[in-house]
């Protein structure tokens, strides 16, 4: 494990310790007042006949992820960057409080070394996500660093909970849907792991901004203990001007107040061209299986 990965693991464990400490102090009046205030803020403007909060406030998510990525970029100087990651697997663990979530991932693939973490905030009406990763694909002698800032706006956040089916900080009591707006900024930096003396160590950076519009729907069963979700969107990217799409299928089941299981399958696709000489193509897919322990009633 690289030094940065160790530091992030220490940070994760420290956050976990802090969460447990707060939970142990949860019987005190100040903590209950604070937590109740947060709950009132989260439910402000929400139709509680459709959306509610779980019985717990804190959670420890553990995840198993499989993903793949295909990338192709032709530069104006005639060089072509082409990469196919194959199937990559990771495991992750984190800590969360009412939709504020930190997860550190570790690679379990033999030929891929990764340093990957996510920081998220999920609300009914809006949310954001910060993802950083540094993956080294040893079979292709290629490394890819990515930083992504993303977010969403749900126009019917009053009755539809975007994160209920895959994060679980809300409960979708009755089925509902909403128009969605997605946006993300992505900075990708590729480099040769072991460059030859006469070759450049780094490839051109890729910077893209995407804005997409679409729709999502939650099917709720047994008062929200079991949920299914489908969402899709399409939009534009710049400055590699072209199109971007996003699709997600998700399912979640609450076994009880303290344990839930969720699964998501996601696909991102974008293609475009800059200055008529730099065609760009990116296709990413991901599956996430999460088992989450919830505490702090």
Confidence of residue 232 (pLDDT cuts 50, 70, 90): very high
Q: How confident is the model at residue 29 (pLDDT cuts 50, 70, 90)?
A: confident
Does the pLDDT of residue 10 top 60, yes or no?
no
State the average pLDDT over residues 167-181: 94
Q: What is the pLDDT of residues 67-111, one digit of tens each?
A: 998 988 877 666 777 888 888 899 999 999 998 999 999 888 887
Are 116 and 103 contacting, i.e. CB atoms less than 8 angstroms apart? no
Task: Tell me how far apart the alpha carbons of residues 19 and 62 are, in angstroms, rounded to a whole number.
Answer: 16
pLDDT at 9 over 50: no
pLDDT at 24: 52
The per-residue pLDDT for 139 is 75
Confidence at 30, pLDDT banded by 50, 70, 90: confident
What's the chain's average pLDDT? 85
Per-residue pLDDT at 256: 95
Q: pTM of the entire structure?
A: 0.83
Binning pLDDT at 50, 70 and 90, where does residue 199 land?
very low
């Amino acid at each position: 494990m690289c030094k940065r990965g160790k530091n992030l693991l220490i940070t994760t464990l420290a956050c976990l310790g802090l969460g447990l400490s707060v939970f142990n102090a949860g019987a005190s009046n100040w903590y209950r007042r604070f937590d109740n205030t947060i709950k009132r803020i989260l439910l402000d403007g929400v139709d509680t006949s459709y959306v509610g909060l779980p019985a717990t406030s804190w959670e420890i998510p553990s995840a198993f992820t499989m993903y793949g990525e295909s990338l192709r970029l032709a530069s104006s100087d005639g060089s072509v960057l082409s990469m196919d990651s194959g199937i990559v697997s990771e495991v992750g663990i984190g800590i969360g409080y009412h939709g504020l979530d930190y997860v550190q991932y570790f690679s379990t693939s033999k030929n891929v070394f990764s340093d990957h973490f996510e920081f998220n905030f999920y609300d009914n009406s809006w949310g954001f996500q910060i993802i950083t990763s540094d993956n080294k694909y040893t079979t292709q002698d290629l490394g890819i660093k990515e930083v992504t800032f993303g977010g969403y706006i749900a126009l019917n956040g009053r009755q539809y909970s975007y994160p209920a089916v895959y994060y679980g900080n809300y409960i979708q009591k009755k089925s509902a849907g909403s128009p969605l707006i997605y946006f993300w900024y992505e900075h990708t930096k590729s480099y040769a792991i072991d460059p030859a003396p006469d070759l450049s160590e780094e490839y051109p950076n890729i910077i893209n901004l995407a804005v997409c519009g679409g729709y999502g729907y939650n099917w709720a069963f047994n008062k929200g203990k079991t949920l299914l979700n489908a969402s899709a969107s399409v939009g534009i990217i710049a400055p590699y001007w072209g199109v971007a799409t996003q699709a997600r299928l998700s399912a979640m089941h609450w076994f009880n107040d303290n344990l839930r299981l969720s699964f998501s399958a996601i696909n991102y696709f974008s293609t475009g061209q800059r200055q008529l000489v730099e065609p760009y193509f990116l296709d990413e897919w991901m599956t996430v299986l999460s088992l989450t322990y919830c505490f702090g009633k």
